[in-house]
Amino acid sequence: MARLPDLPTPALVLSLEVLERNLATMATTRPGATLRPHVKAHKCTGIARRQVEVGHRSFTCATPREVVGMARAGVGKDLLLANESVDPHRLAAMAAAERETGIMVTVAVDSTMTVDLAAAAGLRHVLIDVNVGLPRCGCAPEDARSLAQRALAAGLTVRGVMGYEGHLMTVPEDDKPRKVKASMSSLVEAFDSLIDVAGEECRIISAGGTGTYHAFDPDDPVLGRVNEVQAGSYALMDSSYGAQPLPFEQALYVVGTVISTASRDSGSWAVIDVGLKSLGMDHGNPHIDDAVVWFCSDEHTTFSMNDGSLPSIGDRVAVQPAHIDPTIALHADIHVVPRWGEAVTEVWPVDLRHW
């Protein structure tokens, strides 16, 4: 068993205790099929297996590689590519994985081309991806019905609709339910427009994320219609979601080593070997407890301690990423400790990374 001071850095270190607490908290609110965990947040079948253990059998994926990797690993029973693909080779690889493993594969479609390519590749199930306010993928709500008819004519099963209100993940809590409901109204309307043509297998209304999972009030006539939520970051967390009043804890840090310190009349600072090449930076600087992060460069983060003290060269420092998903994708392995401060007992590969 490796001790934390012996790890080469930068290194991803995961507390199994905190991970399991996060998974249990979410499973209490969104049990079983009401949650479709998004594996893009961790890209690790080791973590996905823990999500299966708390009752989740269906998963969301962002890339065909994630779909194929999950299927080949035999994790889950129902995999959704919540993304459009027009690559015939990758589409065919997902279809082959479904045939060979028996795990259901569904892909999102938002155009006639994505429908036709999915059918040509041998895929069998689709969700109609609807734009609910985020200017990214998704058809206009009024086009959902005709797209479903195109899919049915191509021999595909339309399982329902999905929409991602990613633009609402970090809005203030006092305004979040109203905005999420307005966004979901268009998704529910799109579902209702195609239900009479899509048949009895059309049941899914899929949406949501870690920042909105709690907004889907089952008693609300609109929000209660969403029957699965695609949250992912809740398992590991980051400083962006950590700034919100969510019941999840930071389970994973990027651990670095202090490689330089300085003390000048203008102040004192330290440098660790964690930088832009080991952190997702699109949500801003990372966080270090009891410290102020000055800036990050390719291989370094410069920071100062709030009390003016200096760490020693060689000390280990836990860095909380601002965005966990792209951070994970920069690393090959996750070092698992039972609890913070204990020795590493397992190393889980980030086996779903790349494309």
Q: What is the pLDDT of residue 265?
A: 80
Do 124 and 267 reside in the same domain of the chain?
Answer: no
Residue 260's CATH number: 2.40.37.20
> How sure is the predictor about 216, in pLDDT bands with cuts at 50, 70 and 90?
very high
Q: What is the pLDDT of residue 128?
A: 98
Domain that holds residue 189: 16-236
Do 202 and 330 reside in the same domain of the chain?
Answer: no
77 C-beta neighbours (distance < 10 Å), count: 15
Share of residues in the chain with pLDDT > 70 (%): 100
Do 168 and 253 reside in the same domain of the chain?
Answer: no
Beta bridge partners of residue 347, listed in sequence order: 335
Structural tokens at position 238: 């980051």
> How sure is the predictor about 118, in pLDDT bands with cuts at 50, 70 and 90?
very high
| pLDDT at 348 exceeding the cut of 90 | yes
Could you say which of 236, 264, 295 is where a domain stops?
236
pTM passes above 0.85? yes
Q: What is the pLDDT of residue 97?
A: 98
* Residue 82 resides in a domain: yes
* Residue 355 resides in a domain: no
* Residue 178 resides in a domain: yes
Q: How far apart are CA 271 and CA 258, in angstroms?
A: 6
Q: What is the pLDDT of residue 266?
A: 77
Does a cis peptide bond (omega within 30 degrees of 0) precede residue 10? yes
| Residue range 115-133: mean pLDDT, rounded | 98
* Residue 34 resides in a domain: yes
Residue 41's CATH number: 3.20.20.10
Could you say which of 194, 216, 236 is where a domain stops?
236
* Residue 104 resides in a domain: yes
Q: Residue 217's closest CA among 182, 181, 169?
A: 181
Do 103 and 226 reside in the same domain of the chain?
Answer: yes
Q: What is the pLDDT of residue 2?
A: 77
Q: What is the pLDDT of residue 332?
A: 98
Over residues 59-92, the pLDDT tens digits come to 999 999 999 999 999 999 999 999 999 999 999 9
Do 138 and 36 reside in the same domain of the chain?
Answer: yes
> How sure is the predictor about 109, in pLDDT bands with cuts at 50, 70 and 90?
very high
Over residues 228-277, the pLDDT tens digits come to 999 999 999 999 999 999 999 999 999 999 999 999 887 899 999 999 99
* Residue 95 resides in a domain: yes
Instruction: Please answer whether residues 305 and 293 qualify as being in contact, where contact means their C-beta atoms are separated by less than 8 angstroms.
Output: no
Q: What is the pLDDT of residue 30?
A: 97
Do 22 and 56 reside in the same domain of the chain?
Answer: yes
Q: How far apart are CA 166 and CA 163, in angstroms?
A: 9
Do 204 and 262 reside in the same domain of the chain?
Answer: no
| Residue range 119-127: mean pLDDT, rounded | 98
Do 185 and 108 reside in the same domain of the chain?
Answer: yes
* Residue 242 resides in a domain: no
Do 212 and 139 reside in the same domain of the chain?
Answer: yes
> How sure is the predictor about 4, in pLDDT bands with cuts at 50, 70 and 90?
confident
| pLDDT at 1 exceeding the cut of 80 | no
| pLDDT at 103 exceeding the cut of 80 | yes
Could you say which of 205, 236, 267 is where a domain stops?
236
Q: How far apart are CA 71 and CA 94, in angstroms?
A: 9
Structural tokens at position 224: 């209660």
| Domains contained in the chain, number | 2
Burial class (CB in 10 A: 0-12, 13-18, 19+), 326: middle
Do 77 and 225 reside in the same domain of the chain?
Answer: yes
Do 192 and 271 reside in the same domain of the chain?
Answer: no
Q: What is the pLDDT of residue 3?
A: 84
| pLDDT at 227 exceeding the cut of 80 | yes
* Residue 269 resides in a domain: yes
Do 136 and 270 reside in the same domain of the chain?
Answer: no
Q: What is the pLDDT of residue 15?
A: 98
Q: Which of residues 204 and 1 earns the better pLDDT score?
A: 204
